[in-house]
Amino acid sequence: MGSGAFGEVKRCIHRDSGSERAVKMIKKSLLSEYQNKKIVEETNILRNLDHPNILKILEFFDDENFFYIVTEICKGGELFDEIVRRKKFSENCAVILMKQIFQCVNYCHKNQIVHRDLKPENIMLEENKDFSQIKIIDFGVSRHFEIDEILYDMQGSSYYIAPEVLDRKYNEKCDIWSCGVILYIILSGTPPFNGKSEYEIHNRIKEGSISFSDPCWSTISDNAKNLITKLLAYDSKHRLSAEEALNHPWITEMSDQ
């Protein structure tokens, strides 16, 4: 199904049930001791999470040469590829997608897990691509946190990283910022903080100024723009929680349509 620097993913069939699954084979010799440890940690986190929008680990085992991680199979590809194909989404499609993301993030935060790398590349679609059952993947930099704990190590991807993460002093609301960036992108087709280099992107993020001046925003509801503003609140203390985002009028009213 695919391959990367450390291994490959293959489609497999469960012998007893006949159901399709994916098995990620990771070659141990290509990993450092720290990376080996992180794979075990990520797997343990995922095995203890049970949510319809989180890719479920069904089995995990290893031998002398490989780790084998058996999961549900997603045939619709990454949300990122669908964004590239569509350019931008209608609000009706966007609310179906974002509601599931918020539900997943709310579940993780209630269980004191912060993802730290939410982005379209880590959101998988079902084969029919109707967004009815997305799956969030790649908990490789996720971690358990204590209530009111401050985190200091910088994790995340350039376009989606929160300003406080760049300052290395943050909490689980870094995930909410990433949700705001995702929503901005799927409605407009462009990132809110753009640049020609990582340095430039990070500087724009640190400025924290978002714009709805592009003509595409003239056809997007005020509720959607209000939610984005509250997700991308520069001070995380004023940023919505995932639970609050689920109760925002854009989610509740659009979901009823």
Residues with active-site annotation? 117
* DSSP codes joined into one string, 88-119: S--HHHHHHHHHHHHHHHHHHHHTTEE-S--S
Residue 168 burial (10 A CB sphere; 0-12, 13-18, 19+): exposed
Contact 142, 42 (CB under 8 A): yes
The helix (H) or strand (E) run that includes residue 22 is strand 20-27
Q: Which two tokens stand for residue 4?
A: 């990367």
31-40 long-range CB contacts below 8 Å, 24 or more apart? 31/6, 35/6, 36/67, 38/140, 39/67, 39/140
DSSP H stretches of helix in the chain:
33-47, 79-86, 91-110, 163-166, 174-188, 198-207, 222-231, 242-246, 249-255
Contact 173, 245 (CB under 8 A): no
Residues 6+ apart with CB under 8 A from 175: 105, 108, 109, 114, 115, 116, 118, 242
State the Cα–Cα distance between residues 13 and 77, nearest whole angstrom. 19
